[in-house]
Amino acid sequence: MSASLQLPSLLSPLPGNHSRPVFRSTTRLVRCSTDRQRLFNRIAPVYDNLNDLLSLGQHRIWKRMAVSWSGAKEGDSVLDVCCGSGDLAFLLSEKVGPTGKVFGLDFSEEQLFIASSRQHLQSKLCYKNIKWIQGNALDLPFPESSFDAVTIGYGLRNVVDRQKALLELYRVLKPGSKVSVLDFNKSTNPFSTSIQEWMIDYIVVPVADSYGLANEYRYLKSSIKEFLTGEELEKLASEAGFSNAKHFEIGGGLMGNLVAVR
């Protein structure tokens, strides 16, 4: 099974063969974009369950906050970049209602397969307004000024070029509209950092190991280390052209949400 970064495709539902990819365990999992795409394909079957279990359901609250901060409202046309299995896109769909439109974009075919299956299992009328697109966050397949709000949950940390991703988010937003960026918080407080690292080493990785995904979840710790602090995110967003870039610590400082206006 291959997923193309060059040719975004509308997936509603996803076509093709949905057999699981071969599981591999390597120590160097995430050198490039293709490695990350494979990682997210591999964890797709257990991704939602592990998020619920490991965050004790808290991730649903953080995602609601991110959607609320995006300013999406009834009738809007909105985009969720790095949508994964679709949590933020489903929440956006409820916000914009049947008269609005939601696009969920991701480069992982397996994550999109889960998102599309979830959409078809639900009877909510508004969920019919979601289109899943396989594409690259660094080269969004939309004209400029297309959206009234954009969200990206746990995505910016995972792209290989964050500045380019923010420039793309800026380009597709309508002037005056907001981007809401939810992710782990790279704290400047050593105590918060050690709690976060302890939780990943002694809770997250051992639980993931029981699914054969220890390396995939070990990646979380290194990716947070290589991520940006709230202040650095505000600076990067301002450099991409956004105004009023503000980062909020949530979940007791374990998570963060950047909000910025085009």
Ligand X SMILES: C/C(=C\Cc1cc(O)c2ccccc2c1O)CCC[C@H](C)CCC[C@H](C)CCCC(C)C
Is residue 107 within the footprint of ligand SAM (CB under 6 A)? yes
Q: How far apart are CA 4 and CA 112, in angstroms?
A: 13
Q: Which does 54 bind (CB under 5 to 8 A by kind): ligand X, ligand SAM, none?
A: ligand X
Q: Which residue among 137, 179, 240, 254 contacts ligand SAM (CB under 6 A)? A: 137
The footprint of ligand X (CB under 6 A) covers 43, 50-51, 54-56, 58-59, 154, 157-158, 196, 199-200, 204, 216-217, 219-220, 223, 251, 254
Interface stretch with ligand SAM, choices 16-24, 32-40, 240-248, 251-259 (CB under 6 A): 32-40
Q: Which does 251 bind (CB under 5 to 8 A by kind): ligand SAM, ligand X, none?
A: ligand X
Is residue 155 within the footprint of ligand SAM (CB under 6 A)? yes
Compute and round to an integer the Cα radius of gyration of the chain.
Answer: 17
End-to-end CA distance of the chain: 37
| Nearest distance in Å: CB 190, ligand SAM | 25
Q: Which residue is closest to ligand SAM by CB? A: 84
Pick between residue 83 and residue 172 the one whose CB is nearest to ligand SAM. Answer: 83
Query: Given the rule CB under 6 A, which residues bind ligand SAM?
Result: 33, 36, 40, 82-84, 87-88, 106-108, 111, 136-138, 153-155, 158-159
